[in-house]
Amino acid sequence: DGGITQSPKYLFRKEGQNVTLSCEQNLNHDAMYWYRQDPGQGLRLIYYSQIVNDFQKGDIAEGYSVSREKKESFPLTVTSAQKNPTAFYLCASSTARDRVGDTEAFFGQGTRLTVV
């Protein structure tokens, strides 16, 4: 069953703690993305990766870190430096632009992070 999986669905953490959100895909996609969504808002790009062992900052990368050691996995760490981490986090994957076919993005179910 192909798709993209985020875990956990809900996550609670104390202020000042780092937390890592998981994102796994078995779609053989090259590109992967992390977005943050606040209530009533659109998606803001945190980081994206076009290929293994390489990633680029999005528009709101401060306070976040990522790694891309495997094609299938793109974990996001929310560090204590992120001032307002409570949000809905979405991971997505797609084929790279230079591949044949359309480049639609597939999204996971999201992780709702609450920092108390």
Based on the shown chain and the rule CB under 8 A, indicate whether residue 22 belongs to the binding site for another protein: no
d(CA 115, CA 35): 17
d(CA 76, CA 47): 9
Asked if residue 71 lies in contact with residue 53, where contact means CB atoms within 8 angstroms, the answer is: no
Task: Select from 27, 45, 52, 60 the one that contacts another protein (CB under 8 A).
Answer: 45
Name the token pair of 86.
């409570």
Task: Select from 52, 58, 60, 79 the one that contacts another protein (CB under 8 A).
Answer: 58
Which spans of this chain sit near another protein (rule: CB under 8 A)?
31, 33, 35, 41-45, 48, 50, 56, 58-59, 88, 90, 92, 94, 96-97, 102-110
